[in-house]
Amino acid sequence: MAAEIKSDKVDKVISLCVRRGILFPNSEIYGSFAGFFDYGPVGVELKRNVEASWWKRFVQEREDVVGMDGAIITHPAVWKASGHVDAFADLLVECTKCKGRYRADHLLESVLGVQVDGLPPEKIKADMEEKKIVCPKCKGSLAPARAFNLMFKTFVGAAEDESSQAFLRPETAQLIFADFKAVMLASRKVPPFGIAQVGKSFRNEISPRNFVFRCREFSQMEVEYFVPPRLLDSCRYFEAAKGKKIQVLTAADQEKNAPQSKTTAGDARDKKIIGTQWHAYWLAECVDWFEGIGIAPENLRLRQHTKSELSHYSSETWDVEYLYPWGWKELTGVANRGDFDLKQHSKFSGKDLSYFDQETKQKLVPHVIEPSFGVERAVFTLLLEAFEEKKEKGTDGKEEVKTVLRLHPAIAPVKAGVFPLMKKDGLAEKAREVFEMLRGDFVCEYDEGGSVGKRYARMDEIGTPYCVTVDYDSLEKNDVTVRDRDSAKQVRVPIAKLPNVLSALLGGTLAFEKAGAAVK
């Protein structure tokens, strides 16, 4: 029986990411560039699969959500109206001696070992002074904390002065608000309906950290779901979603230092833990999507933002948190933004962003529930969740440590590895035929280097769910061995049936034991 090892998981996942070309620091040949990362060949497939799974679930499978793709640099007035120019800031402290700069709440967290999520800026400032926090590098004294705006600035056009200043978008959401009316009219939708977008966002984080958990360039997957105010507590999908099991940590629980509790989306709404049905529904949807692509329910909880923590636009926010090796932290956020954004853009643009509500015969500005996901954070979380090490006896009898990424087949970067048992006797040619047959439908990798054991190990490391081996019997019987990553069991499958069998296995409609004759 293989023994499980659980230690230094984060370091091991990061080292796997770099070694296998999943994700690595940007510009490494120049010493890297903090907060920026590049995806390699395996990582780009993983990222695209996560985005595709999200887009399918939250856009394509729904009648009531449409997509858009806005510009990264947009009219600077958008960011004035949204409040980002004035309020999108973190507290920065600077060392008076070495000029080192730190994010005040992160410094407080690391020095005192306390949770800082939910602490108001005044309290952070007061704690910094009271606890006499000094520079962690040179022990110099720190200047009083000040607000630092997180937007990257650039110039548009030939002039490089304030008149031509613009910003890289710090979230995709505002593009949706600015285009709300145009998209609504073009798609002939009326609230309740949503607009979704996937794309890059940029934040000049003071202290990017924990690999891609907090970086400066990342992608977001956001839905702005527009609801007439009178329907906020009347979600047409709630009946189907209300039984969804969730763990919740309310603002009141946090004040009392109480732990999270288990409940359902329906109960959380009935007991007024979550403010409205639409909010409870979207939280349940987010949890369900994460569970559907491989996150264990016990590693997810919903944490309500405390009053002092709420963003300027939000009346109620819940984070979907994951139990990271460094504690529970935000994976995704779901805010009730009310009518803040549309009203602000109406005010600043002078354009009417209301719509005519047929039922009340009134012009209305809809309210917004916003599920907002970070792609890199989701990718990293899925990798941490899937990572496993096992001790196994090698062919020489010695114990070896093997890495397996137990990624859900839907997001696995490579769906099948195809190998010839040997390169000789026509096996390589036959394996290439199988590979050519499969590669139009599945992302496959052909590998003929080293022992079959080594090739299985290489595939396990990047989470490939199935491996297909062509051997001497294949030449006679036109069949192959298919190996299951998670159980290491093998079955024999006729080559003619292989595309259908793989498709059913990957789609979860066929149990591996039923895929073919078991190989002893």
Contacts to ligand GAP by CB under 6 A: 171, 173, 203, 205, 214-215, 218, 220, 222, 330, 332-333, 370, 372-374, 376-377
If we measure between CA atoms, which residue out of 282, 286, 65 comes closest to residue 176?
65
Sheet holding 193-202, edge to edge: 65-67, 193-202, 217-227, 367-374, 327-338, 316-324, 300-304, 245-249, 261-264
Q: For tokens 């109206």, what's the residue? A: 81
Q: How far is the CB of 122 from ligand GAP (least distance, A)?
A: 21
What is the per-residue burial (b if ≥16 Cβ within 10 Å, else e) of 210-226?
A: bbbbbbbbbbbbbbbbb
Buried b (16+ CB within 10 A) or exposed e, 340-365: bbbebbbeeeeeebebebeeeeeebb
Give the span between the Cα atoms of 143 and 124, in whole angstroms.
14
CB 480 within 8 A of CB 495: yes
The residue among 94 and 205 lying less far from ligand GAP, judged by its C-beta, is 205
Q: Are 417 and 434 in contact (CB under 8 A)?
A: no
Shortest Cβ 358–ligand GAP spacing (Å)? 29
49 or 220: whose CB is closer to ligand GAP?
A: 220
CB nearer to ligand GAP: pick between 276 and 314: 314
Q: How far apart are CA 400 and CA 451, in angstroms?
A: 15
Contact 101, 206 (CB under 8 A): yes
Q: Which long-range contacts (CB under 8 A, 24 or more apart) does 388-394 make?
A: 388/4, 389/4, 389/5, 389/12, 390/2, 390/3, 390/4, 390/5, 391/2, 391/3, 391/5, 392/2, 394/453
Q: Report how far residue 279's alpha carbon sits from residue 303's, in angstroms, rounded to the nearest whole number.
A: 13
Q: Which CA distances in Å does 503 have to 158, 250, 342, 416, 477?
A: 54, 42, 44, 11, 22
CB of residue 372 vs ligand GAP: minimum separation in angstroms?
4
Dihedral sign for Cα 286, 292, 295, 300, please.
positive
Q: Smaller CB distance to ligand GAP: residue 249 or 480? A: 249
> What minimum distance in Å lies between the beta carbon of 225 and ligand GAP?
12
Cβ proximity of 413 and 459 under 8 Å = no
Indicate the residue among 54 and 512 with the shorter CB distance to ligand GAP. Answer: 54
Residue number, 110 or 311, with CB nearest to ligand GAP: 311
Task: Rank residues 342 and 404 by Cβ distance to ligand GAP and give the closer one.
Answer: 342
> Collapsing DSSP states into helix, strand and coil, what is residue 469?
strand
Compare residues 74 and 264 and give the one whose CB is closer to ligand GAP. Answer: 74
Smallest gap from Cβ 462 to ligand GAP, in A, equals 23
Q: Rounded to the nearest whole angstrom, what is the least distance from the CB of residue 167 to ligand GAP in the complex?
A: 14
CB of 297 to ligand GAP, least distance (A): 19
- Nearer of residues 87 and 143 to ligand GAP, judged by Cβ: 87
Shortest CB 90 distance to ligand GAP, Å = 10
* Beta carbon of residue 435, minimum distance to ligand GAP (angstroms, whole number): 36
By beta-carbon proximity to ligand GAP, the closer residue of 305 and 415 is: 305
**What is the distance between the alpha carbons of residues 421 and 377, in angstroms, rounded to a whole number?**
39
Q: Which of residues 176 and 498 has its CB atom nearest to ligand GAP in the complex?
A: 176
R_g over Cα of the chain: 26
What residue number has its CB nearest to ligand GAP? Answer: 374
**Shortest CB 314 distance to ligand GAP, Å:** 9
The DSSP code for 276 is: -
The least CB distance from residue 458 to ligand GAP, in Å, is: 29
Nearest to ligand GAP of 46, 421 (CB atom) = 46
Peptide bond into 192 cis (omega under 30): yes
CA 198 to chain centre: 11
**Least separation in angstroms between CB 311 and ligand GAP:** 8
State both tokens at 487.
């159980």
